[in-house]
Amino acid sequence: MAKKVVATLKTGKGKDFTRVIKMVKSPKTGAYSFKEQVVHSSHVQDFLKEK
């Protein structure tokens, strides 16, 4: 069944979206965490620029 789901994402509008992962440093502890989001391909740079 997983192959079927992946195949349907490749057709249509699924190609227009990108999973973006950004590493964010915590101001309190100094530890890093990851912020992950699925955004439209044209908004990737906007996501990376925001704090």
Q: What is the pTM of this model?
A: 0.60
How confident is the model at residue 11, as a pLDDT? 62
Domain membership of residue 1 (yes or no) is no
Per-residue confidence (pLDDT) for residue 7, from 0 to 100: 57
Residue 50 has pLDDT above 80, yes or no: yes
Q: What is the tally of structural domains in the chain?
A: 1
The residue segments making up the domain with residue 22 are 16-51
Is 47 part of a structural domain of the chain?
A: yes
- pLDDT score of 24: 93
- Residue 25 belongs to a domain: yes
Three-state DSSP state, 18: strand
Residue 2 has pLDDT above 90, yes or no: no
Mean pLDDT calculated for residue range 20-33: 94
Locate all alpha helices (DSSP H) within 1-51, ordered by sequence: 2-10, 44-49
Distance (Å, rounded) from C-alpha 23 to C-alpha 41?
19
Confirm whether 11 is domain-assigned. Answer: no
